[in-house]
Chain A
């Protein structure tokens, strides 16, 4: 049956509307869970707040397990889902830059826009910084092109590249996540309380 949009169960004209709706809900949930605070976001790196880690890990796992159950029951065809293409070195270098920006600025691109919406000045500066970055990248695109388009591995997933059984992978991944949550709680208990 699913995915609903590519199979034409929901006509493709609804694409933009659904995107806006999901975007609104996503932004609301980010803000409601306090992710528009750079102190909360940066807490992961200093060890006094692991909400970001837990929330995103849990979201990924819920989606993963849910999708595989739906695939098993025939509601969604996993093979039809969009897999983001992997450009290995581009992803590694881009990820590093983004990580440094995350620690330094205390926002990731999504949450920074969320914080702009509630009028945080640091977030406004952060978004202006993003715009400058985008501008520089676009102007020097010829220079970055080999990195941007190089080491293309296709639309692969971990299951493809390691050739493991997806079900076992999910199970091990879940246990790993739960252990990670427990450890992060331990670390948090040891670190001096930070009020923010």
Chain B
């Protein structure tokens, strides 16, 4: 009895299979289409753009540099000329125009370092940050105020006036010590000797070598 029923159904097996085929193909047409994004979704990007979390202050960066924190990777996104003139210690140069090149990808698309982008101020670094974040790169930061702020706060700190809170003095002491670390000479260091003009003598940046494993990208091939 059951066998007969199955046989009855099986007589239509090719028609059933054909029907399944057409339904599956039709399903592709009817499926709601969604836009595919390379990297993260626009909403996510927007919420990250609004949040100030990406900024790292010059003081914090100076602290990390002085303590030789190995997890920080500095990337100078100005052009090569400015980079050779002056840059932060141990910074790499990835000009904004070459940001999306394959060679730059290995510095930016990784999750073992905290990448700090900087330019003369934060404007271009912010642009680079948006490009990188949109592609889903992780741990990308921007140096707040860029090199200008670096000069204003670390290399040439403003001496606080007397009625300022103690915090400011502490900050000044730190910044002054930091500037000494980065090669600025102060007259009081040389008491009794001839007056030395206060001028930032810039330490030459030594290039450190970091091996970042490049992702393998073999071109797909096939044939019959």
Contacts and interface: CB of A to CB of B under 8 A. Distances in A.
Q: Verify that A and B bind, or say they do not.
A: yes
Contacts of A80: 220
- Which 4 A-B pairs rank lowest in CB-CB distance, beginning with the nearest? A174-B25, A82-B220, A82-B222, A6-B220
Contacts of B195: none
- Size class of the contact patch on chain A: 20 to 34
Which of B25, B26, B216 has most chain A Cβ within 10 Å?
A: B25
Contacts of A72: 28, 31
B198 to A, nearest CB: 54
Q: Is the interface of B mostly helix, strand, loop or mixed?
A: loop
Nearest to B219: A6
- Size class of the contact patch on chain B: 20 to 34
13 contacts: A3-B220, A6-B218, A65-B28, A68-B28, A80-B220, A82-B222, A84-B223, A167-B29, A168-B29, A170-B25, A170-B28, A174-B22, A178-B22
A175 interface: yes
A171 B26 CA distance: 6
A5 interface: yes
A89 interface: no
Interface in A72-95: 72, 80-82, 84
Interface of A: 3, 5-6, 8, 12, 61, 65, 68-69, 72, 80-82, 84, 110, 167-168, 170-171, 173-175, 177-178, 181
A175 B22 contact: yes
Interface in B124-178: none
B21 interface: yes
B24 interface: yes
